[in-house]
Amino acid sequence: MKGQEWYQADDVAAEYDDKRFSQGGQLIDRREKEAVLEAIMPVEDRNVLEIACGTGRFTVMLAERGADVVGLDISAAMLQQGRKKAKAANVAGTLEFLRGDAGRLPFPDDHFDTVVAMRFFHLADDPEAFLREMRRVSRDQIVFDTFNRFSARSVYNWALPMGSRLYSKSEVSVLLAKTDLTLVDVEDDFLAPYGLYRSIPNGLANAIRSVDETVGGRPLTDHLASVSYWNTRVR
């Protein structure tokens, strides 16, 4: 599993949000949250598990909207950041953060309505095993994202501290078939790589984003998008 050790470090966890979601990265944070909300709606009273929840960006957002949510992560340091965020948002009493391995979820079969995994599958050595385990504990829906093989990310992927696994659409389709999941919707986005957005000021990021949105959303540009958001149902 890539990054399993990397995310245990206190300084990595403390800097996680700032490094990725300040400056132009704010619009990535917004877009990812929008993708999760759109997929799950209506969120209120939905029983949700977020695996690899990290600093709780989605866990806290879902709790704020009335979901009954558990965030699970293998890193105590990342969970600590999540607990701080939940406290600041006044939802600490309505969600649960749990340390655990996404490969062996401590829940019975069909326990949740929805299981979410964001920014996780690029770390997975054996994505089928993780998806199968998510499928086991979900009675209805699985939502996740993937970083794409035929995208600008592939140019700098090798330089990332722990590398990352990139997926083609057909590879994910095979994974869905093997794990008995039905595709409801897939949205492709970000022709310009995430790494560019988060390193530039907001104003410039917004200008690049407008071009990205204008050019994107067509069959060819979808093929070159950095990320795909997958909304699937249990068969």
**Minimal distance in Å, beta carbon 6 to ligand SAM?**
8
**Is the torsion defined by CA of 78, 36, 30, 151 positive or negative?**
positive
| Residue of closest CB approach to ligand SAM | 54
Residue 9 vs 41, nearer CB to ligand SAM: 9
Interaction between residue 3 and ligand SAM (CB under 6 A): yes
Q: Which of 28, 35, 57, 157 binds ligand SAM (CB under 6 A)?
A: 57
Whether 137 contacts 114, CB under 8 Å: no
Partners of 117 in the β-ladder: 51, 144
**Minimal distance in Å, beta carbon 78 to ligand SAM?**
4
Name the CA radius of gyration of the chain, rounded: 17
Count other C-beta atoms under 10 Å from residue 198's C-beta: 20
Interaction between residue 67 and ligand SAM (CB under 6 A): no
Q: Residue 44: exposed, middle, or buried by beta-carbon count in 10 A (0-12, 13-18, 19+)?
A: exposed
**Minimal distance in Å, beta carbon 130 to ligand SAM?**
8
Q: Which of 97, 120, 197, 229 binds ligand SAM (CB under 6 A)?
A: 120
**Phi, psi of 208, deg, nearest 5:** -65, -40
Fill in the DSSP letter of residue 159.
G
Interaction between residue 119 and ligand SAM (CB under 6 A): yes
Residue 87 vs 218, nearer CB to ligand SAM: 87
Residue 8 vs 221, nearer CB to ligand SAM: 8
